[in-house]
Amino acid sequence: MKKIVVGMGTCGLSAGAQATYDRLEELAREHPDACVLARTGCIGMCYREPLVEIREDDRRVIYGGVTPESADEIFRKHVLDGLVIEDDNLVYSCGPRGETSGAECGFLDLQERIVLRNCGMIDPESIGDYEEAGGYEGLRKALTSMTPEEIIGVIKASGLRGRGGAGFPTGLKWSFAASSKGDQKYVVCNADEGDPGAFMDRSVLEGDPHSVLEGMIICGKAIGASFGYVYCRAEYPLAIRRLQIAISAAREKGYLGRDILGSGFDFDLKIKQGAGAFVCGEETALFASIEGERGMPRIRPPFPAEKGLWRKPTNNNNVETYANVPWIIINGPEAFTAHGTEKSPGTKVFALAGKVVHGGLAEVPMGTSIEELVFRIGGGIKQGKQFKAVQMGGPSGGCIPASMKDTPVDFESIPATGAIMGSGGMVVMDEDTCMVEIARFFLDFTQKESCGKCTFCRIGTLRMLEILERITRGEGVPEDIEKLEKLSVQIKEASLCGLGQTAPNPVQTTIRYYIDEYRAHIFDGKCPAGECQALVEFSIDPEKCVGCTLCAKNCPVNAISGKVKEVHVINGETCVKCGKCITSCNFGAVVTR
């Protein structure tokens, strides 16, 4: 009997997976002996959603872009007649001898999946599926045959470093909390994923929530904690719902609560929904939010391992870090260090977004180059345009130019470029991206998200933003670049938390690698990428214009004139540079310079 699995993560549901699932459910009811229908989380190929996988004993086939209508054909031909449909919808096919084919087979074949081992494979709402995949065996081993010191020793030996961005050794962090004295200790999971373009943690929580819970429980045993919190942003309703289902199921099965697996160890946890403040990704601000206070960073020391949540010893890691733990406990530290580099062992999950062809989720060994991520897994740049840069580390990260595409992605190489690893968001940019505008965009984000506690962060980022806004309007002056560089240093040195300390990174890296674009804006009054509208002139290419009149009809200020089937003209004095003409033209006749 075949198994039909539909990707039902947020990406799939946004693309219409629910309607596809409903239609397949109808067909499965009509043919109850032909198949079983199941759901799963994000498979990773978000760019081809909705995704439907047909599983047999010796074969798995994934179809992309499946609508309710095409679901009928897939069911009739593949499920009932056993014929793989060899068309553009065939994304991935793995045969009985392991050979793979399909339009994007490389997207999966080039990955090494540890954190994403169950994402796209199991029903995230079924604890039975998780157990069948080896779930909670790591917890069983940790509770029944390992001491807390041995657990920490294994994590230390694995070299696992925090996947939230800082890259601090996880085992060492756990040892600090374990050695701290306290009548109550806490385990906290930071699922407050706020970086624009990042969706790694959301996808893991939606696709494999039990792996995170299991990692947290093991951590609780290791440090002597009896309670934990998953701090998840309220903008992730599906992740929260599946977490709630997982927590309830784990309690019923005896993996949470009192005397877990008869070991005498007690541990329970709950979800705390964040209100969307980016600064609450900083751990001390996160603790304040859980406590019901305004999310503002605290001075360190004391560090959370000594005085964290409610001033009790606390360990805080992110979603991806905890999801690695059960795998390491079961497979051993040597299996983990077999991946990655000496100083950055293991794998890393990345969210590919922006101008990349294959936007989605990928897990690769640490040390994989930017070029391999963007071109081999990501499929290159949309519309065949030139690769210009990649933004890593979110708004607190930096822009790495295409000339440095051979840079290995690890905790040593990326900071050397001026960017940071961050939690794993990678925003890919092409030749049409203005790097000055990118710096302005991210500064606008961090300035608005500043909690206001530090004067340099609160006021300094505002002054930087004002300068960048002037430059993108064509009102920049020669001394602006020096002012930006000076403010960047002052904000980094005087800010209390990571938000302020890293906020200038986008500006510093774009000045470092794209100083010519800043100079063009300031000295020439031009935007080389043609993105800053105040510095752009709109015109119509007479060789491409067919006189369809769409641009004129969509112009809000009647700045375009011309008769039907004749070349149109834009009045530069009337034009407000809104871009409506570009989006409405079907022939690429409207150009900017």
Q: At what angle do helices 209-223 and 319-331 cross, to 10 degrees?
A: 80
Q: Given this model, what pLDDT does residue 192 score?
A: 92
| CATH code for the domain in which residue 30 is found | 3.40.30.10
Instruction: Name the residue type at position 9.
Output: G
Average pLDDT over every residue of 209-216: 98
Evaluate whether 64 touches 30 at the Cβ level (below 8 Å).
no
- Residue 593 confidence (pLDDT) above 80: no
Q: Is the pLDDT of residue 523 over 90?
A: yes
| Domain boundary pick from 386, 401, 430 | 430
Which long-range CB contacts under 8 A does 252-259 form with residues at least 24 apart? 253/127, 253/136, 255/136, 255/139, 255/213, 255/214, 255/217, 256/213, 256/217
In a domain, 244, yes or no: yes
Average pLDDT estimate for 242-261: 97
Residue positions counted in the chain: 593
Count of domains for the chain = 5
Domain final position from 430, 455, 485: 430
Same domain, 270 and 318: yes
What residue has token string 């309703």? 237
The pLDDT confidence band at residue 275, using thresholds 50, 70 and 90, is confident
The answer on 360 and 282 residing in a single domain is no
User: Tokens in use for 438?
Assistant: 């990118």
CATH number at residue 134: 3.40.50.11540
C-alpha angle with apex 116: 112 to 120, nearest 5 degrees? 115
Give yes or no for residue 422 having a pLDDT over 90. no
Q: Are residues 477 and 355 located together in one domain of the fold?
A: no
For 130-156, how does the pLDDT look when each residue is reduced to its tens digit (9 = 90+)? 999 999 999 999 999 999 999 999 999
Q: Which of 46, 80, 109 is the last residue of a domain?
A: 109
Q: Tell me the CA distances in angstroms from 384 to 235, 341, 431, one per residue in order.
A: 34, 32, 10
Whether residue 185 sits in one domain with residue 331: yes
Task: Decide if 414 contacts 399 (C-beta within 8 A).
Answer: no
Residue 411, in any domain of the structure? yes
Q: 245 and 173, same structural domain? A: yes
| Domain assignment present for 116 | no
In this structure, are 240 and 321 located in the same domain? yes
For 163, the enclosing helix (H) or strand (E) is none
- Short-list 232, 162, 165, CA closest to 203: 232
- Helices (DSSP H) in 269-403: which residue ranges? 283-290, 319-331, 333-337, 370-371
For residues 148 and 276, state if they share a domain. yes
Long-range contact set of residues 292-300: C-beta below 8 Å, sequence gap at least 24: 294/451, 295/451, 296/451, 296/453, 297/451, 297/453, 297/496, 297/497, 297/499, 299/496
- 354 forms beta bridges with 428
**296 and 412 within one domain:** no
Q: Per the domain annotation, does 120 fall within a domain?
A: no
Per-residue buried b or exposed e for 280-292, using 16+ beta carbons within 10 Å of the residue's own CB: bbbbbbbbbbbee
pLDDT at 431 over 80: yes
What is d(CA 389, CA 513) in angstroms, rounded to the nearest whole number? 10
Give the pLDDT confidence score for residue 503 in this predicted structure.
92
pTM of the predicted model, to two decimals? 0.92
**Residue 285: which residues within 8 A CB-CB, separation 6 or more?**
277, 279, 295, 296, 297, 298, 451, 497
Range of the domain at 384: 347-430
Identify whether 328 is part of a domain: yes
What is the per-residue pLDDT for 99? 83
270 and 316 inside one domain: yes
Residues 264, 206: one domain? Answer: yes
CB of 468 within 8 A of CB of 507?
A: yes
| DSSP secondary structure letters along 241-293 | HHHHHHHHHHHHHTSSBSSGGGSS--BEEEEEEE-S-GGGGSHHHHHHHHTTS
Name the pairing type of β-strands 347-354 and 360-365.
Answer: antiparallel
Q: In this predicted model, which residue has the larger pLDDT, 578 or 130? A: 130
Residue 578: pLDDT band (50, 70, 90) is confident
119, part of any domain: no
- Look up residue 403 and give its two tokens: 């000339």
Greatest pairwise CA separation for the chain in angstroms: 84
Tell me if 399 is assigned to some domain. Answer: yes
Q: How many Å apart are CA 223 and CA 328, to the nearest integer?
A: 17
Tell me how many degrees the CA angle 336-341-345 measures, rounded to the nearest 5: 30
Question: Mean pLDDT over residues 5-32, rounded?
Answer: 96
Q: Are residues 231 and 369 in the same domain?
A: no
User: Tokens standing for 306?
Assistant: 């000594």
pLDDT, tens digit, 9 for 90 and up, residues 447-471:
999 999 999 999 999 999 999 999 9
Instruction: Using a pLDDT cut of 70, give the percent of the chain over it.
Output: 100
How do residues 524-543 score in pLDDT, each as one tens digit? Answer: 999 999 889 888 888 999 99
Structure-block tokens of residue 91: 């994304």
Task: Tell me how many degrees the CA angle 413-198-292 measures, rounded to the nearest 5.
Answer: 110
Same domain, 309 and 362: no
Residue 392: which CATH number? 3.10.20.600
**Tell me: the pLDDT tens digits for 282-305?**
999 999 999 999 999 999 899 999
